[in-house]
Each structure stands twice: as structure tokens, then as C-alpha cells.
Amino acid sequence: MATKAQSRMTPLKLFSYGFVALWLIIAAFPFFWTFWGSFKVQADFLSKADWMNALTGANTIEQTGSAFTGAGYHGAWVLEDFWYNFKNTGIVVFFTVLISLTFGTLGGYALARSGFRYAFWILMAALVFRAMPHMTLVSGYLLWFFEWNVWGILPTTIIVLVAINQPFTLWMLHSFFKNIPKDMDESAMVDGCTRFQAFRHVIVPVMWPGVITTGLFSFLLAYNDFTVAVMLLSEENETIIPAINSFMGTTQIEGKVMYAVAAVVSATAPLFVLILFFQRQIVSGLTAGAVKG
């Protein structure tokens, strides 16, 4: 219950409101600005003369006759075949999430139910693996992938992303399975199930909330990955994030910067939708490992 003393406006409270408001503006403004600007021409989006141009679109009206133009999107999606990169990202993300969750649930369940000392050591090793900068791992793969002729194709990237994702998935699902009472699967085993049958028929039906939360983070890792994709994928198999980077390398010519801006907005849109629908799960996932200490 809020008492009178708690709901009174104090300078401290006013300051903290102001601080939050400032943060929210800093957090949201760049996205708003880029989204709005993606419908303008480059002379407006990067307007040295007057930043108001980016809002009103003075040059856009002059060049295209209307205050909004889809030229950037047309350029990126149609002329530069950005949809093709989206398709690659779709394949990579789908299989990475599917395989990591399969491996992760089996492993996380085993770790949660095993009291042996080596289970702890596996978790510790996973924590150390989680800290490895991805670039150092990539420098370990590259030579061998070239030698075995598996460089540049999507399956290689998928399996690498699955592996990089495992430490996090294991920790998260391990702590999630620990919260499912032991009695459930043990009573199933008393009734004659094997361990796997108990897992399949008793644990699987109740594990979906935890698996969905973990899956969201696997999705984010695979979708946002730049380091692995830029080093391990050939040009025709590029996913969207390295594709945006190569846009930047080749498009310093007038007008083409807007292709990159449109591509950036297109790449952010799925994430925006994701937060819109899964905010609760994302927040609970972020704090899952933390609140338990």
C-alpha cells in the first residue's frame, strides 16, 4: 500500500523521474530517427545544412515529389537482393534454435538430476567456454574448414553457432529443470519407466515455458551473430548482418547509403516484433540466472 509519505513528490523523486525520462529518450530516439530517415533521400538523412530537413524531407520532396520515398527499401530488397540474405538468416536461425534446444534440454536435464561431482565440473567448463571471445574460436576453425572444404556453407555455420550457444543454454535449462520437482520423474520411474521414458512423458510436457525462454535467447544469438557469419560464410551464403556490413563497404556512393539504412531498419523490425510479443519471457530469462544468485 502506498502511504501518503510514499506518494509525495520530493526533489529526489523528481530527479529520478527526470533521469528515467532522459534514458528512455536516449534509448528510443536513435531508432525513431533511423526509421523516419529511412524513408528520405540521403541529402535529408545525412543533412549537414539543417537537421530539420531529415524531419520535413525538403530534398526528398524536391527529388521525388513526395515527403516519403521507398527508394531505399526498393534498392536494398529488389536491386541488392536483400531477401536472399534474409532467407539465409531464416535457415541459420531455425536450425540453430532447433538443434541447440534439443541438445540443451537433454544435457540440462541430466545435469539437473545428477548429483555427481563431474556434473559440476561440466557446468564450470561451460562457464569458462561462455567467456571465450568468439573471434578466438573462429581463428581456430578457419584453417581446418578450408582444409576439409566445408568453409562457406550454411551447415558449418549452424553447427558452430549451436556449439557456441551450448554453454548458455545448458546453464539456463539446468537451473530451470532444477525447479521441476524430482518426485515427478522419479515416481514415473518407480512405476517402471526408464529414465528416458520418464523424461519423454513426464518432463517434456511441463518444460515448454523454460524452453521457450531459452529458445528466445538462442534465436537472438543466431540472429545477431556477426563474428561467426562474416568469417565462415561465402558471399553467396551471407546472412543479413554481414550483408549489411558489405553494403557499407561498397556503398559510399551517393544514394546507396540509404540502401544500408533501409536494410538496417528491415533487420531491426523482427527484433521489435519479438520484444512486443515476448517481453515477459525475455525479462524473466534475463533475470533467471541472476535472482537465484
The least distance separating other proteins from the CB of residue 176, rounded to whole angstroms, comes to 15
Extract the C-alpha cell encoding 80: 541488392
What is the biggest distance separating any 2 CA atoms in the chain, rounded to whole angstroms?
A: 78
Alpha-carbon distance of 229 to 293, in angstroms, equals 34
Closest CA to 44 of 65, 31, 63: 63
Q: Report how far apart, in Å, the C-alpha atoms of 233 and of each of 15, 165, 226 are.
A: 49, 18, 10
Q: Give the residue among 227, 109, 103 at the shortest CA–CA distance from 178.
A: 109
Q: How long is the chain?
A: 293
In this complex, which beta carbon is closest to other proteins, that of residue 104 or of residue 210? 104
Min dist CB 133 to other proteins, Å, is 4
Question: Minimum CB separation from other proteins for residue 79, in Å?
Answer: 20
| Nearest C-alpha neighbor of 104 from the set 22, 42, 164, 158 | 164
**84 vs 226, which CB is nearer to other proteins?**
226
Using the structure block, give the residue that is written with the C-alpha cell 544435457.
107
CB of 46 to other proteins, least distance (A): 4
CA distance 157 to 229: 7
Minimum distance of other proteins from residue 258's CB (angstroms): 11
Compute the distance between CA of residue 253 and CA of residue 256 in angstroms, rounded to an integer. 6
Q: How far is the CB of 21 from other proteins (least distance, A)?
A: 9
Let me know how many helices (H) and strands (E) the chain has, helices first: 16, 0
Least distance between other proteins and beta carbon 25 (Å): 9
Q: How many CA atoms lie within 13 A of 233 on its CB side?
A: 27
Q: Whole-number minimum distance, CB 20 to other proteins, in Å?
A: 4
Q: Kindly tell me which of 69 and 109 has the beta carbon lying closer to other proteins.
A: 109
- Kindly tell me which of 208 and 272 has the beta carbon lying closer to other proteins: 272
Instruction: List Cα–Cα distances, 122 to 114, 118, 126, 196, 211, in angstroms.
Output: 11, 6, 6, 21, 20
CB 165 within 8 A of CB 218: yes
Report the residue number, 46 or 65, with the smaller CB distance to other proteins: 46
Residue number, 33 or 84, with CB nearest to other proteins? 33
Helix (H, G, I), strand (E, B) or coil at 98: helix
Nearer to other proteins, 1 or 65 (CB): 1
Is the CB of 35 or the CB of 65 nearer to other proteins?
Answer: 35
